[in-house]
C-alpha cells in the first residue's frame, strides 16, 4: 500500500513538474516576443527620425535668397548655364535653335537650347523653356520627363530658387550620328538613284 501511494505521489509530482515547465516555457516565449516587439518599435522610431532629418535637410535651400548681410541675386545667364548642363546629361537629347524669333535674336536670350524666365520676387521662381531634338528610336515622353526632372532638381539644388515649370519643345528628331531625320534619303530618291546608276552601266 505504501509503495502504491509512493508511485502515485511520483506521478503527481511529475505532472506538477511538467505543468511548471510549460508555464516557464510560456513565460520565456512571452518575454522573447515582448523583447522582439520592443526592438522592432525602437528600430521603426529610429528610421522615422532619420527620414525626418533627411527631409529637413533636403527642404533647406542650398543658397539663401536673403541673408543677414543683404540679398543674393542669381543672374539669368547662370541659371541658363546650369539648365544647359543638365540638358547635356540626358542621353539622346540635343539642344535645338528654338523659335524663329529666337533665331532672329528677338526675345529672351537662349543658352544652348534653354530660355529662362525669372520672376524676381521675394521668393524667386524660374520657368524654363527647353528646345530639343530627340534621337530616333527613343520614346519622347520618357525623354521629356527625365529632362524635366533633371533640370528642376539641379536648378533647385544649386540656386535655391523654386522651379515653377520646365516646358519641353521637341523640334526635331536626329540619328545617332547627329544628322537630322530630314537628311535621310527618301525611298523614292534612293530608287531613282539606283535606276540612274543602272542605266549608266548599261550605256
Does residue 192 fall inside a structural domain?
A: no
What pLDDT digit, counting tens, does each position of 111-159 carry? 888 999 988 777 889 999 999 999 999 999 999 999 999 999 999 999 9
Residue 42 is predicted with a pLDDT of 73
Residue 57, pLDDT score:
45
Does residue 32 lie within any of the structural domains?
yes
> What is the rounded distance in angstroms from the CA atom of residue 87 to the CA atom of residue 73?
23
Q: Which of 35, 60, 85 is the last residue of a domain?
A: 60
Give me the helices (H) in the chain, please. Answer: 2-59, 76-88, 100-103, 140-159, 187-202
Query: What pTM does this model have?
Result: 0.53
Within this chain, do residues 84 and 179 fall inside the same structural domain, yes or no? yes
- Assess if residue 13 is contained within a domain: yes
- CB neighbour class for 32 (10 Å; exposed up to 12, middle 13-18, buried from 19): exposed
User: What would the mean pLDDT of 58-87 be, rounded to a whole number?
Assistant: 74
What local confidence, expressed as pLDDT, does residue 149 receive?
95
Asked whether residue 200 carries a pLDDT value surpassing 60, the answer given is no
How confident is the model at residue 61, as a pLDDT? 45
Q: What are phi and psi of 200, to 5 degrees?
A: -65, -40
**Residue 194 domain-assigned?**
no
Q: Where in the sequence is the domain holding 134, given as residue range(s)?
A: 75-183
Listed residues 17, 35, 60: the one ending a domain: 60
CATH number at residue 99: 3.30.70.1350
Amino acid at each position: 500500500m505504501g509503495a502504491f501511494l509512493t508511485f502515485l505521489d511520483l506521478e503527481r509530482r511529475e505532472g506538477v513538474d511538467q505543468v511548471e515547465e510549460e508555464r516557464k516555457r510560456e513565460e520565456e516565449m512571452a518575454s522573447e516576443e515582448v523583447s522582439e516587439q520592443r526592438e522592432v518599435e525602437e528600430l521603426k522610431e529610429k528610421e522615422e527620425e532619420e527620414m525626418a532629418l533627411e527631409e529637413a535637410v533636403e527642404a533647406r535651400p542650398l543658397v539663401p535668397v536673403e541673408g543677414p548681410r543683404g540679398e543674393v541675386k542669381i543672374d539669368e545667364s547662370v541659371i541658363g548655364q546650369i539648365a544647359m548642363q543638365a540638358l547635356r546629361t540626358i542621353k539622346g537629347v540635343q539642344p535645338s535653335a528654338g523659335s524663329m524669333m529666337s533665331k532672329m535674336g528677338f526675345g529672351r536670350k537662349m543658352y544652348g537650347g534653354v530660355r529662362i524666365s525669372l520672376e524676381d520676387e521675394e521668393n524667386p521662381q524660374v520657368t524654363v523653356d527647353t528646345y530639343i531634338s530627340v534621337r530616333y528610336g527613343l520614346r519622347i515622353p520618357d525623354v521629356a520627363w527625365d529632362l524635366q526632372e533633371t533640370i528642376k532638381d539641379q536648378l533647385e539644388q544649386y540656386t535655391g530658387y523654386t522651379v515653377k515649370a520646365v516646358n519641353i519643345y521637341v523640334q526635331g528628331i536626329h540619328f545617332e550620328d547627329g544628322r537630322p531625320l530630314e537628311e535621310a534619303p527618301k525611298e523614292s530618291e534612293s530608287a531613282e538613284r539606283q535606276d540612274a546608276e543602272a542605266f549608266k552601266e548599261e550605256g
